[in-house]
Amino acid sequence: MEKVIKIKNLDCAACAAELSEELQEIEGVNAATADFINQRVSLSYESAEALEKAIGVIAGFEEVEIVDGNAPEKRESRLKEILSIAISAAFFVAGLILTIFGGDGRLVFCLRVSFWIASFLAAGWEVGFNAGKNAVRAFKGGFHPSVLLDENLLMLVAAVGAIAIGEYMEAAAVVLLYQIGELLQSVAVGSSRGAIKRLMEMKSDSAIRLTDGGQEEVEPEALEAGDLILIRRGDKVPVDCIMTEGESELDTKSLTGESYLREVKAGDELLAGCVNEGNAFSARVLRPYTESAVAKVLELVENSSASKAKPEKFITKFARIYTPVVVLLAVLIAVIPPLFQNFNFAEWLVPAIEFLVISCPCALIISVPLTYFSGVGALARVGVLTKGAVWLDKLAAVKVAAFDKTGTLTEGKFSVASAEGGENVLLYAAAAEKNSSHPLAQAFATIDTPYVAEHVEEIAGMGIACEIGGNHVLVGSSRLLRGHGVEVEESISDMVTVYVAENGVLLGKIGISDMVRPGAAEALSSLKKTGVKKIAVLTGDTAERAAETLKGLPVDEVCARLLPDEKPLRAGELKQEGTLLYVGDGINDTPVMAMSDVSAAMGGLGSDAAIEASDFVLAGDDLSALPKAVRGAKKTRKIVAENIVFSIAVKIALMAVSLAATATGAFALPIWAAVFGDVGVMLLAVLNSMRMRRRLS
């Protein structure tokens, strides 16, 4: 059994990892994942008893609360934290003023110590409370050092140590700076989470279904294929549909990231999630809500944080081992050097505390997942959906890009442009193609034919063999006909040519037109500017026709006449030249997607199989979003590297300075500087992560 539990107040990756670990240790819980980005816990459990225990653990974990799924979501309040910080800051400033202007009298000394103690208590009570709760939790069902030795305990030890050596101002500064840092971190994470929540609002709450009796308001999930719906000005398109009458303009920003309005008319396909900014119109439902573009978008965004990139996984595992190790090192620093310096333990207590505070890995365990999460959100805003942060790293490394031709580089909207050889040529083809799932078959969908095809055999990559009125009919490529002994003189044309043969005799041919997507040339050129060295096209079409169709596109290689089973082999060869990205739209593209290092599917026209097999989805079928996605992935990777290098470098430098200062006696590094090495570095890393919130261009 599986269940998703909505929560709130889980605000860091380390806490999420701890909660997941505790849940997985419950007997009867097979798997558990706590998601601090989407604020939910996904459980796989065997019994109601296991679920009840899991709910108890979640409810008792730090400040986490379980949210009623039916209750309206309340705006997150930070009044308690702000009030604690304000009171602590007021007392701290009062103590600082007395230190500067109050003189050295005993009364003044007592007053300023009282102010600093009050400042420490105002900001530090929550730190102590959380450290105490974690101490209790750490010994439940065995010993969990990562639960005990968290940031709250480190800060509490630093503050109490400062009080023990008479540094009252340092103690107040430690907890005050820490609480300010926690508040700003919470605001930053909440801001990124809000960006995704706004994306989730693209789902329509209701739809107007037109019936014989008039109109009825229903949920989008209640609509079925074939239903007639009314979309008024300002309404969101509830499901994927086709416009039946009228003209209007749609705001497609939620899917494509583009701010301009798209003009639509009767016969145009409309994707769910767009907003009608023009006249009211009626539309026919193409597919149910669960298969619509908006449902795919929301599912991908909700699940994107489950698949972590290697740096994320490393940082999470690293933090579990790292924290106990640095605590041990801090103890050794406090104990071993004094043994060789006349047992002067008080002198080495401060650097030990500073080492403990500086070494806290919170800058990494917060900023790295936040950067990837922000990267996923940035790509979603330009209409590219990713199935997990792990694929951002893959996309950033792409050197070779391969494309399917039909429906990917071309519009994939086929229509009959010409027919030669008599009336039966078109009627036979229409009868045969009604049994095909190939994209070309849609060109014959509107042609009425009196014939019915029987004993239909679809030959992958070639066409259809069937019987019509007792005659053996072939409809497809020249290779299909030649394979059955029919002589064909192949014509060179920029159109797709379908040949028709009856009882071994060529009847005629049909020309089917398909246009290159607007903006395809610019999109491929932009893709090369991102660092992609080679662009190839894999197609089953003839080399001549593919070259004619793709004329003007910056394509380096056209691999033509490929059968479905030959495409993965060619993709394997392209992989030898660098990390391979494959972009396709059909069922026959799924084996190539599996072979490629990273893949993308056309979300609007693409088949469910292709979308399922791909790592990215172009929600609006907009190729111009692809180079933006590559740039976004590279930017994400760069910021992650910057945060890791910066955090580690600053911490190592401060730890070295602290130890060297004490060993030489030259000066003493103040504890507040150590707190900056933790909280300050964390804030700078988080702010750097927030650069991913900017619009990709």
**Same domain, yes or no: 646 and 627:** no
Residue 302 within a domain: no
Alpha-carbon distance of 313 to 300, in angstroms, equals 20
Give pLDDT, residue 72: 46
Average pLDDT over residues 310-319: 59
pLDDT above 50 (res 297)? yes
The arithmetic mean of pLDDT across residues 63-71, rounded, is: 67
Q: Whole-angstrom Cα distance, residue 293 to residue 556?
A: 32
Same domain? For 521 and 630 the reply is: yes
* CA angle at 405 for the pair 549 and 618, rounded to the nearest 5°: 125
Give strand pairing partners of 275: 236, 251
The answer to whether residue 72 is domain-embedded is no
User: Would you say residue 567 lies in a domain?
Assistant: yes
Lowest mean pLDDT among 382-396, 523-537, 583-597, 682-696: 682-696
Pair (155, 93) in one structural domain: yes
In this prediction, residue 71 carries a pLDDT of 46
Contact (Cβ atoms closer than 8 angstroms) between residue 391 and residue 379: no
Q: How many helices and strands, by DSSP H and E, does the chain display?
A: 23, 26
| 217 falls within a domain | no
453 C-beta neighbours (distance < 10 Å), count: 23
Residue 204 belongs to some domain of the structure: no
Task: Assess whether pLDDT exceeds 50 at residue 22.
Answer: yes
Single residue among 513, 529, 555 that ends a domain in this structure: 513
Burial (Cβ within 10 Å: 0-12, 13-18, ≥19) of residue 215: exposed
Q: How far is the CA of 203 from the CAs of 269, 282, 666, in angstroms?
A: 18, 19, 63
Domain presence at residue 219: no
3-class secondary-structure state, position 20: helix
583 with 547, same domain?
Answer: yes
Interhelix angle 362-381/168-200, rounded to 10 degrees, is: 20
pLDDT at 428: 94
Within this chain, do residues 351 and 252 fall inside the same structural domain, yes or no?
A: no
Domain edge (last residue) among 490, 513, 536: 513
pLDDT per residue as tens digits for the range 395-433: 999 999 999 988 788 887 788 888 998 888 999 999 999
| Rounded-to-integer distance, Cα 244 and Cα 284, Å | 6
Domains held by the chain: number: 5
CATH number at residue 263: 2.70.150.10
Higher pLDDT pick, 143 / 477:
477
pLDDT at 128: 84
Q: Is the pLDDT of residue 82 over 70?
A: yes
- 3-class secondary-structure state, position 486: coil
Closest alpha carbon to 601 in 300, 305, 360: 300
pLDDT digits (tens, 9 = 90+) for 354-384: 777 777 666 666 677 778 877 887 887 787 8
Per-residue pLDDT for 466 more than 60?
A: yes
List Cβ neighbours of 138 (8 Å cut-off, separation of 6 or more): 144, 145, 147, 148
Active site residues: 404
Instruction: Show the CA angle centred on residue 597, arms to residues 591 and 599, nearest 5°.
Output: 60
Considering the domain architecture, whether residues 420 and 499 belong to the same structural domain is answered as yes
pTM of the model: 0.64
Please check whether residue 41 lies inside any domain of the structure: yes
Q: What is the pLDDT of residues 560-590, one digit of tens each?
A: 888 777 888 999 999 999 999 999 886 667 7
Q: What is the pLDDT of residue 311?
A: 59
- Same domain as 620, residue 498: no
Q: What was the pLDDT predicted at 70?
A: 46
Count of CB atoms within 10 A of residue 454's CB?
Answer: 13
SS (H, E, C) 237-273: CCCCEEECCCEEEEECHHHHCCCCEEEEECCCEECCC
Residues 630, 527 share a domain? yes
User: Is the per-residue pLDDT at 530 higher than 90?
Assistant: yes
Q: Are 176 and 92 in contact (CB under 8 A)?
A: yes
Sign of the Cα pseudo-torsion (457, 459, 464, 469, in order): negative
Q: Which of 590, 611, 634 is the C-terminal boundary of a domain?
A: 634
Distance CA 163, CA 48 (A): 49
607 falls in which pLDDT band (50, 70, 90)? Answer: low
Least confident of 217-231, 294-308, 320-334: 294-308
Range of the domain at 15: 2-66
Confidence (pLDDT) at 66 = 84
In this structure, what token pair is assigned to residue 437? 């799932």
Residues 499 and 562 in one domain: no
Q: Are residues 549 and 573 in the same domain?
A: yes
Residues 655 and 577 in one domain: no
Q: What average pLDDT does range 145-151 have in this prediction?
A: 66
Q: Is the pLDDT assigned to residue 595 strictly greater than 60?
A: yes
Pull the structure tokens for residue 176: 């005050």
pLDDT value at residue 563: 76
Question: Is position 117 within any domain?
Answer: yes
- pLDDT level of residue 37 (50, 70, 90 thresholds): low
Residue 461, helix vs strand vs coil: coil
CA within 13 Å, CB half, 672 = 9
Dihedral of alpha carbons 95, 98, 100, 104, sign: negative
Residues 636-664: tens digit of each pLDDT? 999 988 988 888 888 888 888 877 877 77
CATH label of the domain that carries residue 59 = 3.30.70.100
Kindly report the CATH number assigned to the domain that includes residue 425: 3.40.1110.10
> In 342-422, where does DSSP find H-type helix?
345-358, 362-381, 390-396
Q: Residue 465: pLDDT above 80? A: yes
Query: What's residue 374's pLDDT?
Result: 79
Mean pLDDT estimate for the chain = 81
CA–CA separation, 409 and 245 (whole Å):
29
Assess whether 125 and 158 both reside in one domain. Answer: yes
From start to end of 525-573, where are the E strands? 534-538, 557-559
